[in-house]
């Protein structure tokens, strides 16, 4: 009898909690939401994150404020979200740096335990090996030949330890045996400015960032780093087609919340993301970025994060990197 009474009390407690949770979800959001973008304005995460922010604002009827917090290859912004109140009002726009960083940079947070996945918004884009329009190099093979002719002298822009441009350079060096000088930049926009002015020889920017410059003719794209050609720049070959079979570095865009964010809020946010990724204007906009919208579930987002961290840990470990 005591056992049955205890069970009844427990069940009543659970039932009492359910309406409160539902009510909390129905009342969310009732104030502005902050998207922490861990890179400077004008970069890939900023450009695509702002599109998502505007669509989410339109659908929930509250402002979605973009807060650029660059530094430490994205870890500064990620830590802000990891330490934020788990109430659904501070969220992280994450990309490939997030899953590479654990292998190269020690962070004051756990990229798996301190976050709850909301959705993998889209996959892509590819990066583009890019040179100045006045450069004599017309192909990836030309760049490799120049690097071999000038060992340790050709300068490549590096957007930070653990960034996708950094990874592209490391994979290129490993596959070809060349050695280049990696010049650090705080973001793709600054690196591209240096490329246009002739201060840097080669840049690996994300396609959404470099696309306007490619169209204007100020720079020349040589190849994309993804396994397949991008529909946004179909005339550009892949790095694999350019003589480096197996070369594949491409990105993604995701949305994370602090760990312990109420499930009802995570579910609400995922529903909004999933809905927008099915809208034709969103699909068309992201196709222009060379990206494919997904809108994955929170569970799929979490699994993707774990799998990608493990994948790049293996690649970077074999390249001699360890978290510092």
Strands annotated E in 86-216: 90-94, 115-126, 128-132, 155-158, 181-184, 202-203
Phi and psi of 90, rounded to 5°? Answer: -130, 115
Contact 95, 305 (CB under 8 A): no
Burial of 82 (0-12, 13-18, 19+ CB in 10 A): buried
Judge if 31-123+250-318 and 128-224 fold alike in CATH terms: yes
The rounded distance, in Å, linking the Cα atoms of 297 and 67 is 25
d(CA 73, CA 75): 6
128-224 maps to CATH 3.20.20.370: no
User: Could you tell me if 120 and 154 are in contact, meaning their C-beta atoms sit under 8 angstroms apart?
Assistant: no
Residue range 6-24, pLDDT digits in tens: 433 343 344 344 444 444 5
* Spans of all domains in the chain: 31-123+250-318, 128-224
Q: How far apart are CA 196 and CA 322, in angstroms?
A: 34
Q: Three-class SS of residue 125?
A: strand
pLDDT tens track for 193-250: 999 999 999 999 988 889 999 999 999 999 999 988 988 899 999 999 999 999 988 8
pTM: 0.74
| Average pLDDT along the chain, 324 residues, taken 10 residues at a time | 39 42 69 96 89 97 96 92 98 92 89 97 91 97 97 90 83 92 88 94 91 94 93 93 93 96 97 97 89 94 95 81 73
For domain 31-123+250-318, say whether CATH 3.40.1360.10 is its number. Answer: no
């Amino acid at each position: 009898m005591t056992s049955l009474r205890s069970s009844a009390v427990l069940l009543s407690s659970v039932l009492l909690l359910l309406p409160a949770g539902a009510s909390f979800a129905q009342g969310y959001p009732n104030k502005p939401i902050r998207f922490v973008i861990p890179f400077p304005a004008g970069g890939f995460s900023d450009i695509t994150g702002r599109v998502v922010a505007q669509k989410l604002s339109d659908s929930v009827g509250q402002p979605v404020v973009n807060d650029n917090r660059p530094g430490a290859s994205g870890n500064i912004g990620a830590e802000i979200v990891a330490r934020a109140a788990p109430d659904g009002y501070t969220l992280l726009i994450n990309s490939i740096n997030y899953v590479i960083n654990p292998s190269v940079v020690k962070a004051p947070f756990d990229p798996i335990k301190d976050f709850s996945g909301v959705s993998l918004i889209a996959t892509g884009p590819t990066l583009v090996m890019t040179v100045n329009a006045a450069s004599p190099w017309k192909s990836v093979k030309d760049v490799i030949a120049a690097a071999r002719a000038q060992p340790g002298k050709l300068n490549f822009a590096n957007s930070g330890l653990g960034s996708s441009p950094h990874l592209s350079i490391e994979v290129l060096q490993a596959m070809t045996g060349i050695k280049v000088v990696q010049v650090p930049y705080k973001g793709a926009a600054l690196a591209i400015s240096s490329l246009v002015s002739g201060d840097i020889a080669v840049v690996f920017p994300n396609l959404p960032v470099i696309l306007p410059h490619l169209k204007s003719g100020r720079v020349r794209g040589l190849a994309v780093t993804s396994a397949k050609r991008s529909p946004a720049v179909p005339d550009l070959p892949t790095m694999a087609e350019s003589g480096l079979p197996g070369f594949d570095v491409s990105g993604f865009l995701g949305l994370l919340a602090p760990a312990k964010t109420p499930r009802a809020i995570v579910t609400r946010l995922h529903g909004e993301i999933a809905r927008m990724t099915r809208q034709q204007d969103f699909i068309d906009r992201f196709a222009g970025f060379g990206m494919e919208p997904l809108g994955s579930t929170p569970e799929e987002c979490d699994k993707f994060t774990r799998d990608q961290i493990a994948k790049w840990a293996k690649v970077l470990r074999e390249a001699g990197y360890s978290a510092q």
